[in-house]
Copies of this chain bind each other. A is one copy, B any other.
């Protein structure tokens, strides 16, 4: 491996000083058009690439951000990631993608390693950390956008999803169709979104004069398999349940499978609702009634917000709230 071309090489070749090359590279003025072109030619010929590492050391900007999600193989997150990366690319940033895999220790570790990498900011999706830990872990980061998580002690710039409202509407939809005993696949206990959805679910039941029984609830991981197991368990122990409100679409797909293997028809014996409206939701049989989120846009907006934050518009930035639109399909018509 031959030594890399540095700015000094370009400067020597062009017979100018480092600063002149630097100005050419960064398109700054205070340099004649002639020298700029001459230097550009030499840069191209030599294949010089400025070291963002060296530049960062002095400018204190790395041109990188960190994106933390639970699990990039969950379409909800991979679509957010795509939105973030699209916006980042458009503005010259690179994105570190980190999965926490529902592990709070890993979430902390990742937050720390991004700090050591001196990212200009982070987008943290669906954090599972207790608020106290989160406050400490976020504090050293120069810019932060939270997705789907709200803190009580301190405000961070956020993209919020109206999970409570979405859950309420979905549950009301089930109630309107005569369901009284509605099961809840509640997702991970530490999920803020899960807690909001539970609120909406309970609220809707109580407004209808129904007391949501604790035994109607099962926590589960936000994946198909865990949803299947939780649903099967729930349907077996509470045979009078006629509808399932599921934390997300993956859980709902699992619920569909559980119903199938228990010989319960959907929606006739058991109605099922999902959450997120991932592409799969419309394609399974029966197609899922669910709450849609414009996931890609969430990612885009999160990155835009973060950029504003990085570029120092303290105070002027505002949280963005996305609605969860109820999409009615066959699993709960």
Let me know if B94 and A142 touch, CB within 8 A: no
Task: Spot the interface stretch: A33-41, A106-114, A168-176, A265-273.
Answer: A106-114
Determine the chain B residues whose CB is within 8 A of the CB of A283 once the complex forms. 253, 280, 283-284
Q: How far is the CA of A54 from the CA of B58 in the complex (A)?
A: 10
Contact of A51 among B64, B116, B296 (CB under 8 A): B116
In this complex, how many residues of chain A approach chain B with their Cβ under 8 Å: the count is 53
Given contacts A52-B117, A116-B49, contact A98 B94 (CB under 8 A): yes
A53 to B62, CA, bound (A): 9
Contact A53 B117 (CB under 8 A): yes
Whether the pair B280, A279 counts as a contact (CB closer than 8 A) is: yes
Listed stretches A75-83, A123-131, A154-162; interface member: A75-83
Contact residues in B for A115 (Cβ distance below 8 Å): 49
Contact mask for chain A residues 51-92; partner B; CB cutoff 8 A; 1 contact, 0 none = 111101100001110010001110100110110011001001
> How many Å lie between the Cα of A57 and that of B96 in the bound state?
19
Rounded to whole angstroms, the CA-CA distance of A114 and B47 in the bound complex is 14
- Chain B neighbourhood of A71, CB < 8 A: 82
A72's contact among B54, B72, B285, by CB below 8 Å, is which? B72
Question: Is A104 engaged at the interface, CB distance under 8 Å to the other chain?
Answer: no
Interface check A189, CB cutoff 8 A: no
Most chain B beta-carbon neighbours within 10 Å: one of A75, A79, A94 = A94
Q: Are A117 and B94 in contact (CB under 8 A)?
A: yes
A297 CB to closest chain B CB (Å) equals: 13
A99 within 8 A of B: yes
Query: In the bound complex, how far is the Cα of B116 from the Cα of A253, in angstroms?
Result: 43
Closest-CB distance, A303 to chain B (whole angstroms): 13
Contact A279 to B224, CB < 8 A, known contacts A94-B96, A106-B89: yes
Q: Are B85 and A98 in contact (CB under 8 A)?
A: yes
A86 partner, pick from B49, B99, B112, beta carbons under 8 A = B99
Q: Does residue A8 face the partner (Cβ distance < 8 Å to B)?
A: no
> How far is it, in angstroms, between the C-alpha of A94 and the C-alpha of B94 when the chains are bound?
12
- Given A50-B116, A72-B72, output 7 extra A-B contacts at Cβ < 8 Å: A47-B140, A51-B116, A52-B116, A53-B53, A75-B75, A92-B113, A95-B97
